[in-house]
Amino acid sequence: MARRKPAIEVEITEGAIRVRHAGRALTIAAASPPPDADGSPDYIVRLDDIEHWDAPHDEAEIDVEELQLVLAAIEDECDRHGLSVEFD
């Protein structure tokens, strides 16, 4: 029987995106686009800001595979809420 990976939970707030995965948490400060920008995404996530999990797991780096899972989960959650996200 194949082993299932723990689910990734995503919570979107006005100023941040919170991700929970395998007992760890990650808070991503989401940059909002300028108010006068037409056609821009609802959230902009800076990939360079996603390096480590939040404390007490802040020594653990987020590897490429985890990053891909996190980004996919964020996109899915934004889609469910009718929001757009751009990764920069």
Q: What is the pLDDT of residues 30-87, one digit of tens each?
A: 776 666 666 778 888 999 989 999 999 999 999 999 999 999 999 999 999 999 999 9
pTM equals: 0.84
- How far apart, in whole angstroms, are the C-alpha atoms of residue 21 and residue 71? 12
Q: Residue 25: what pLDDT?
A: 96
Q: Per-domain residue ranges for the chain?
A: 8-87
Q: How many CB atoms lie within 10 A of CB 70?
A: 20
Q: How many residues does this entry show for the chain?
A: 88
Instruction: Answer yes or no: are the C-beta atoms of 31 and 43 closer than 8 Å.
Output: yes
